Amino acid sequence: MTDEVILEVKDLKTYFMVDEGLVKAVDGVDFQLHRGETLGIVGESGSGKSVTNLSIINLIPVPPGKIAGGQVLFHGKDLLKMPPHEIRDIRGNKISMIFQDPMTSLNPFLRISTQMVETIELHQGLDKKAAKEKAIEMLRLAGIPAPEKRIDQYPHQFSGGMRQRVMIAMALSCNPEILIADEPTSALDVTIQAQILELMQELTRKLGTAVIMITHSLGVVAGMCDTICVMYAGRIVERGRTEEIFESPKHPYTVGLIHSVPRLDQEIKGRLYSIPGQPPNVIDLPDCCPFFPRCEKAMDICKKKYPPSVSFENGQSASCWLYAKEAQNA
């Protein structure tokens, strides 16, 4: 990881208008991604992780969704203000994405060769023969046996783990600067998950690719990520270096997530811990701390105003009234 910032998200807001009201799926998200860094975005289902990253590459369906505000600066240029043809040149080329379910991401009616070669031809400017050679090489790097034969097969002829390897090969075939991985192992069994994560680490380090890893699993980010952003109800509630987050979590939500992970070095007594309650309904959510109904340390001010972000000496930050001076003076 270097000090060079290649992606900067500023006050990103993505809303969806539904019959019941306004869903603020992403409501003021800020983060930076450095060259070669692996950033983990963690949170329960519905916290806004996937919508944040779909917003970055302009894949929000309009309607019902819209990007209501903010900036996504890629090398200083705002992706949200780019015309469609320019963002298409970046999407899949400079910024690639691996989606959650490889079966629905690959076209079942087209051979793997057709889907991979088309992408390489479009973005790399190679002829069909050279593009196919590049595709075969990427499949080989991704651990697909006999790639010269497998490339002409259809997605249904691959297992789930092999399909995800194809998706990784396809995403990295244009040597992107940023790879967004949206729960890349959730549809796979545990042993295959470990193989896929190890493969992603190996290939992205070899290619110097920065990674945004979207996951609800703290085990995944512990082994892969340099930094972590914890999301809750459309906002980042805590961020910091991975080892610091695990060693000294600040936000009660982060504390709950870490405590809910079973540990091999401790004897289990009774039931595993789980955060009480359910994630909030983000339709017309009031401007207060959305975690207060589930928080053991909630105060009166938590029910009235959203907490500011407080920075700590080690570079961590958390949005919680436990650390804000306004709450101490209230």
CATH number reported for the structural domain that contains residue 43 in this entry: 3.40.50.300
Assess if residue 280 is contained within a domain: yes
Cα Rg of the chain (Å, integer): 21
38: tokens are 């692996």
Assess if residue 103 is contained within a domain: no
User: Does 9 share its domain with 158?
Assistant: no
Q: Chain centroid to CA 131: how far?
A: 29
Domain that holds residue 9: 5-94+177-286
User: Does 188 share its domain with 270?
Assistant: yes
Task: List C-alpha distances in Å: 38 to 224, 226, 255, 258.
Answer: 7, 5, 22, 20
Neighbours of 107 (CB within 10 A): 12
Contact criterion met (CB below 8 Å) for 241 and 43: no
Assess if residue 244 is contained within a domain: yes
Assess if residue 185 is contained within a domain: yes
Contact criterion met (CB below 8 Å) for 27 and 234: yes
Buried b (16+ CB within 10 A) or exposed e, 261-273: eeeeeeeeeeeee
Contact criterion met (CB below 8 Å) for 185 and 133: no
User: Does 184 share its domain with 280?
Assistant: yes
User: Does 114 share its domain with 204?
Assistant: no
Distance CA 256, CA 151 (A): 45
pLDDT of residue 326: 59
User: Does 165 share its domain with 140?
Assistant: yes
pLDDT of residue 40: 95
Question: Positive or negative CA dihedral for 326, 327, 329, 330?
Answer: positive
Assess if residue 301 is contained within a domain: no
User: Does 252 share its domain with 113?
Assistant: no
Amino acid in position 254:
T
User: Does 145 share its domain with 62?
Assistant: no
Mapping DSSP to helix (H, G, I), strand (E, B) and coil, where does residue 110 land? coil
Kindly report the backbone phi and psi dihedral angles of residue 284, in degrees, each rounded to the nearest multiple of 5, phi listed first.
Answer: 50, 45
Place of tokens 């019902």: 64
> Taking Cα atoms as reference points, which of 20, 9, 136 lies closest to residue 79?
9
pLDDT of residue 3: 83
Distance CA 245, CA 229 (A): 9
Assess if residue 309 is contained within a domain: no
pLDDT of residue 329: 54
Query: DSSP letter at 155?
Result: G
User: Does 279 share its domain with 192?
Assistant: yes
Burial class for 194, CB neighbours closer than 10 Å (0-12, 13-18, 19+) = middle
Among 286, 305, 322, identify where a domain stops. 286
Q: List, edge to edge, every strand of the sheet that includes 317-319.
A: 95-98, 178-182, 210-215, 38-42, 227-232, 235-241, 317-319, 309-311
Assess if residue 317 is contained within a domain: no
Assess if residue 293 is contained within a domain: no
Quick: pLDDT tens for 35-68: 999 999 999 888 999 999 999 999 999 889 999 9
pTM of the predicted structure, to 2 decimals: 0.90
Distance CA 274, CA 174 (A): 42
User: Does 197 share its domain with 257?
Assistant: yes
Does an H or E element contain 9, and which? strand 5-18
User: Does 152 share its domain with 190?
Assistant: no
User: Does 89 share its domain with 123?
Assistant: no
Distance CA 302, CA 287 (A): 10
| Number of domains present in the structure of the chain | 2
Kindly report the backbone phi and psi dihedral angles of residue 117, in degrees, each rounded to the nearest multiple of 5, phi listed first.
Answer: -65, -40
Q: Which residues of the chain have pLDDT under 70?
A: 102, 187, 325-330
Contact criterion met (CB below 8 Å) for 142 and 166: yes
User: Does 258 share its domain with 193?
Assistant: yes
